[in-house]
Amino acid sequence: MSLAYAQSTDVPLALSAKIEGNDKAMAITLVFDREVEVAPQLLNHPWRLVLDFQRLGFGFEIDQADWSGFATDMRWGDMSDVNSRIIFEMDKPFSIVQVDTRKNAKNDTFSLIFSLNHSDSDTFNAAMIDNMRTNAVVQRSSKSDRLGVSSKLNKTKKFTVVIDPGHGGIDPGAVGRGRTLEKEIVLAFSKELKARFDEEGDVDAILTRDSDVFISLNDRVQFARQSNADLFISIHADSIREKYVRGATVYTISDKASDSVAARIAESENRADEIGGINFADEPEDVADILVDLARRETLGFSVQFARLAVSKLKEETKMIKNPHRHAGFRVLRAPDVPSVLIELGYLSNAEDEKQLKQAPWRAKIVDKIAESVTRFAELSGRRLSVANGKSN
């Protein structure tokens, strides 16, 4: 496999990659413009080699025709403002035999070479567990730095909405028929929605990400809770196999999906951590109990209340999917104490929706309707909309 050359930046550049071998052994060679430090880890389901670096520049263009060995996929991207990740997915368990770094005297580049052998599942799992115990993963930046916690949280509190642009960094999300990336379109929309709230000043709007970085589903949930959010809105534009399906949808959480489409969408969105190379063993121990907990609390009722408001407003400006309020087991909506919804702006698998999502005037209309929904929800929730008015409801 040969990959394209990247242009120079102020961060180390990943210049090229090569994968060579057979079903029993293979070598992965990554070439950089300078020496880099790497922290490898192993993950299963599927079998993956995950490489963490300080921030890199990328210029890869995959050509699978040259692949040999047992690698089936390669992806890369930023995990934060200071870290990047490259992931190799394999079709069988493996072991790392050797890691070499070589300086290439001809052009002053550095090669990072991973020699891998096919192994059995027990050997792979033992190595993966040992890898976790020795804490080989590059230290993540703090959540405050990575997610951009606002200093406004320490001031007199307004009604706070956390806006969550789905996917990001190494996880592109859906890809439209015209090659539109979900991670880019939802980030643009989320910034526009935040700008609307900032302009009016009555609602404190915070983004989980404001750049092209990967954030785990659990970190998104915890960020909303740590922000003392009154509402969490995750913004998406998914893709489904029924290309004719189009229109906006508003989802709330449930342990049982409302329909097969909702179930498939939730399954797809819940794979975000797998794509980003996150180990589910790192999840809090009480995660499995959250759906039960939600059923005992009023939070789900508030989530449903906002979902109905949003559907009512969105219908005024855009096409909605049939039965537009649906529910499924979205992991990003599991905060037990923050009303949470996931809004599909449309489906990138539909040509008309994709075209619409790229149009700023259409997005502006949808921004207005979601903002109106949030304002109305805040009023119904009895929260103070303006610090300046000097009273609480």
Which residue bears the tokens 């230290």? 139
Looking at residue 82, its pLDDT comes to 82
Q: Which residues pair with 32 in a beta bridge?
A: 14, 110
Looking at residue 298, its pLDDT comes to 64
Domains located in the chain, CATH noted: 13-133 (2.60.40.3500), 148-389 (3.40.630.40)
Rounded CA-CA distance 201/348 in Å is: 32
Instruction: Judge contact between 29 and 111, C-beta under 8 A.
Output: yes
Looking at residue 325, its pLDDT comes to 94
Instruction: Judge contact between 358 and 185, C-beta under 8 A.
Output: yes
Looking at residue 74, its pLDDT comes to 87
Rounded CA-CA distance 271/172 in Å is: 12
Question: Dmax of the chain from CA atoms?
Answer: 72
Q: Which residues pair with 236 in a beta bridge?
A: 344
Looking at residue 276, its pLDDT comes to 58
Looking at residue 216, its pLDDT comes to 87
pLDDT along the chain (393 residues), means of 10: 45 89 93 90 87 85 68 84 87 92 87 94 85 45 33 55 94 90 96 96 93 89 89 94 91 82 73 57 45 54 92 95 90 86 95 95 97 92 45 42
CA of 178: how far to CAs of 95, 97, 237, 351, in Å? 39, 42, 14, 8
Rounded CA-CA distance 197/204 in Å is: 7
Rounded CA-CA distance 73/1 in Å is: 11
Task: Please tell me the pTM assigned to this model.
Answer: 0.64
Looking at residue 226, its pLDDT comes to 85
Torsion sign across C-alpha atoms 9, 11, 15, 16 = negative
Rg (C-alpha) for the chain, rounded Å, is 22
Looking at residue 257, its pLDDT comes to 80
Looking at residue 39, its pLDDT comes to 87
Neighbours of 7 (CB within 10 A): 7
